[in-house]
Structure 1
């Protein structure tokens, strides 16, 4: 039987419960049969994989690889994944450099099949790092099947950290957030942006994100969200707005009252 994470509440209360029980629930999830089979296969076979082509031909290894980087939906797009994993990530003209979604570049760098020094799959600790990333993300997916909002909230720190750590220019960092579907959804929801916002010109979107962030958090750059307190403000506002949008706001609370005032006073795009 597949383990299903327990998510008894929505909103901030649900997230607080998950934080308290995450370690125990994750441990139980990792012991489920389907996860254990993939993990065991990866540990047993990955060191012997010498090319991107060999990796994409092994369905179990490909599942773990894509799952570790949040790219599960690409499981049937083997041609693209082979091209990505074969890329020389030091080449500014490589495919990974041209893709807006930088998760592909991160994956290619981790495996190194196309890099000068060759694949890293046999290095000490490699399998452990990929397996940890895989099981963590698969647990978040399982949580998302109960409550997608919780999944996005759980991955916020990691997704933001990976983009901020790249040290790109302020504009490029915002564009990387905009290209990252989970992060974009968090920011759009937290900032109260309408669905039509994504149809605007990219430069106009950039202006809009900055203006809304400045209004809501007093900062306009993604690097400012490296501050744990400000990141928590972002998560909290996302959870409250998502709860209201889903019609689960329940009785009035200080948070929901503040959100109503904020919404009534904001200007739409």
Structure 2
């Protein structure tokens, strides 16, 4: 006599990547002392997810007003590396989420940051396997001069429940430098409008962009050079607190015929409260955006001893 039974074993998400032994007993007999027993054991291997993000550039340089697009792709073939058709049939799905977004400068420690111009959106379906997203960010005014770090993480799902995958490949990060003194203009912006927006005059901006015409709209394909970037250097023969002195904001502003408030406005990292907390002393090697005053009647240029 044969008895037939069907056993269904559902692996819970919480089980994770493990092996389990499931045993079944066949019992025959009317009374316990007469029972004949047979045992069958089955090894059940619960395959854990292994979301993998495709590599992205480790370092990116961009400028204000310039659209930045980072393509992101994630795939989960499980820890066993099963064919994608099998994985989809088993219900292993993915999405991509923002892991972290931080900002730092030479005077500010790295800390959490949020930009209104940043968005992470799916290219097609938000949950799939594989899945593709695009991170879009257009840095806006006062975000230049800082270093940003963005991390993205593949998030796994099985039967609608979130699962944590194994391995370090589920997260990718990139570091973005937003250049100072560089700007992508919006459609229809003229040289005069751009100069006025940056507290300068058209001649100063044109001097670094000779291909531009006074009355024509500024091209939007590439960043415009707003002015030179000056690098702060130690002052020779000067020592302060055991370290070298550096050029002050006042001296630098005078050398280019501009005001200190303009220098701070062009360099948000110097107008940041963390710079004031450091004693408002620029560090050696600090890059400073300056739009020199080219109108000689207004400028008060310091020769610097030459």
TM-score for both structures, normalised by structure 2: 0.23
Higher strand share: 2
Name which one, 1 or 2, has greater alpha-carbon Rg: 2
Higher helix share: 1
